[in-house]
Amino acid sequence: MIRDARPADFAVIAALNKASERFVSPMSEARLAQLHGWAAYHRVIEAAGEVAAFLIAFREGARYDSPNYRWFSERYASFVYIDRVIVDAAQRGKGLATALYQDVFTFARQQGVASVTCEFDVEPPNEVSRRFHVRFGFHEVGRHAYNRKRVSMQATSVAAAPTADSSSVPRR
């Protein structure tokens, strides 16, 4: 089930994030609580009553201090920025990230936002993420370097992505 994240989920979300830190920035529970307050979209998928995946995204004008978010803020007047999507290792390959992306695109449509943005690592490379984003019509709009990483800044039109109606994961 896709549902809004709540504070009771933060320990699990922080643990999922920690398990994926080679691809994402560290995030303590305290930092997550801060991000949750700034986020326009923060939802989870439950599997067998447990949080199995999450996605957190921000709109323009958020107080978020990420250098990648700020890069988009300097270039786009209106957007939804996908900060991170993480799926529990035991749940990968089941379409959970796809379901969350379809859901965030539905959210963007409902908000009247035409562009969804994100980034993925190119140094060190994250080929799985690159292939995943191609399926949603993302294309490179720039490159950005920070903290010994180099990322591909990506954007796509909300109209280019599949809708949540095609997802097999129910919402509540």
What whole-number distance in Å separates Cα of residue 128 and Cα of residue 81? 19
In a structure prediction context, what are the per-residue pLDDT tens digits for the chain, which is 172 residues long? Answer: 999 999 999 999 999 999 998 888 999 999 999 999 999 999 999 999 999 999 999 999 999 999 999 999 999 999 999 999 999 999 999 999 999 999 999 999 999 999 999 999 998 888 999 999 999 999 999 999 987 789 999 999 998 776 655 444 444 4
The CATH-assigned architecture of domain 2-166 is 3-Layer(aba) Sandwich (3.40)
Q: Are 77 and 61 in contact (CB under 8 A)?
A: no
What six digits make up the tokens of 122? 């190119």
Q: Are 127 and 134 in contact (CB under 8 A)?
A: no
Tokens 């107080």 locate to: 63
